[in-house]
Chains A and B, each alone.
Chain A
Amino acid sequence: MATAREVVLEARPEDIDVLQDVVADLWESEPGVADTERMRFEMALVEIFTNVVEHSERAQHGPPRRRVAVTLTVDDDRVQAVLVDDGRPAAVDLSSVTMPDADATSGRGLALAISAVDDVSYERDGDRNRWTVTCRRGS
């Protein structure tokens, strides 16, 4: 049976901590999820949420901030996060993301998210951005 958590966050740095607390709570309810899967999923989720925060802050510094509805689901075969925000469209082509060189001080977020989990996708859905992070279990 699936376990889910839903939380609506503001696109601001402090809410990264709130999100990670929700993830920790989810694992408490789902002790069967392996450590490596928890780690991979949380890494990708934090990177995608941080990406939304960064783009939100660039578009408009300070309130009113974008709201991000996050749904986390654990099924027998996968752990998934869906993040829906009401910001401007994200100009991103996930197929062209590469890991920067070792001396870069930024730009690793999406590359890290993509390499951590089985699938990261983005779509514009009406006036919303929708990100989906999927980590298969037992893979």
Chain B
Amino acid sequence: MTDIQVTHSDHGLGVVTPAGRLTMVSARALTEAVASLVDQGTSRVVVDLGETTFIDSSGLGALVAGLKRCRQAGGDLRIARPTAQVTAVLAMTNLDKVLTPRASVDEAF
């Protein structure tokens, strides 16, 4: 079971941390977590992928949907701490150009 935790950093960022597998099973919960942050006025969001053991195309779709949502609200979505599998999938789908991985949540913005 994938657990998606949402917190706020000291700098006013939303931090979303999906732990476990990010597939069709959990992608909608990630999309909703980001949308909910934006609706509440937080449009600068970091998705911390340090505990994401596996991502598939549904998970990528949720990240892209979240990115669009944040940008429409004048903010941005960035990803931090991707695991080897996440990094490989981003490269294979050419999404590493729009979702540039950052080394840590603090360095994301």
Inter-chain contact B85/A39, CB cutoff 8 Å: yes
Residue A112 is within 8 A (CB to CB) of chain B in the complex: yes
Segment at the interface with A among B7-15, B34-42, B87-95: B87-95
Q: How far is the CA of A50 from the CA of B64 in the complex (A)?
A: 19
Q: A16-B23, A16-B24 are in contact. Are A102 and B95 (CB under 8 A)?
A: yes
Q: What mask results when residues 92 to 109 of chain B are scored 1 for a CB within 8 Å of chain A, else 0? A: 111101100000000000
Q: Are B97 and A102 in contact (CB under 8 A)?
A: yes
Q: Mark A96-125, 1 if CB is under 8 A from B, else 0.
A: 000100111111110110011000000000
User: Do residues A17 and B56 form an inter-chain contact, with CB atoms below 8 A?
Assistant: no
Q: Is the interface of B mostly helix, strand, loop or mixed?
A: helix
- Segment at the interface with B among A2-10, A40-48, A61-69: A40-48
B93 CB contact (under 8 Å) in A17, A54, A105, A108: A108
Contact A14 B93 (CB under 8 A): no
Size class of the contact patch on chain A: 20 to 34
A53 at the binding interface (Cβ < 8 Å): yes
Task: Report whether A112 and B58 are in contact in the complex, using a CB–CB cutoff of 8 Å.
Answer: no
**Is the Cβ of B56 less than 8 Å from the Cβ of A99?**
no
Distance between A107 CB and nearest chain B CB, rounded to angstroms = 8
Q: In the bound complex, do residue B92 and residue A116 qualify as a contact, i.e. CB atoms below 8 Å apart?
A: yes
Query: CB < 8 Å: which of B61, B88, B92, B95 contacts A106?
Result: B61
CA of A133 to CA of B36, assembled, Å: 38
Interface string of A10-21 (1 = CB under 8 A from B): 000110110010
For residue A14, which residues in chain B have a CB less than 8 angstroms away from its CB?
25
How many angstroms from the CA of A33 to the CA of B23 in the assembled complex?
A: 23
Asked if B21 is at the interface of the complex by the 8 Å CB criterion, the answer is: yes
CA of A38 to CA of B23 in the docked complex: distance in angstroms? Answer: 17
| Nearest B residue (CB) for A42 | B54
Residues of chain A with a CB closer than 8 A to B5's CB: none
- Could you name 8 residue pairs across A and B whose Cβ atoms are closer than 8 Å? A14-B25, A39-B88, A50-B58, A99-B93, A103-B64, A109-B57, A109-B58, A112-B57
Binding site for A on B (CB under 8 A): 1, 21, 23-25, 54, 56-58, 60-62, 64-65, 68, 84-85, 88-89, 92-95, 97-98
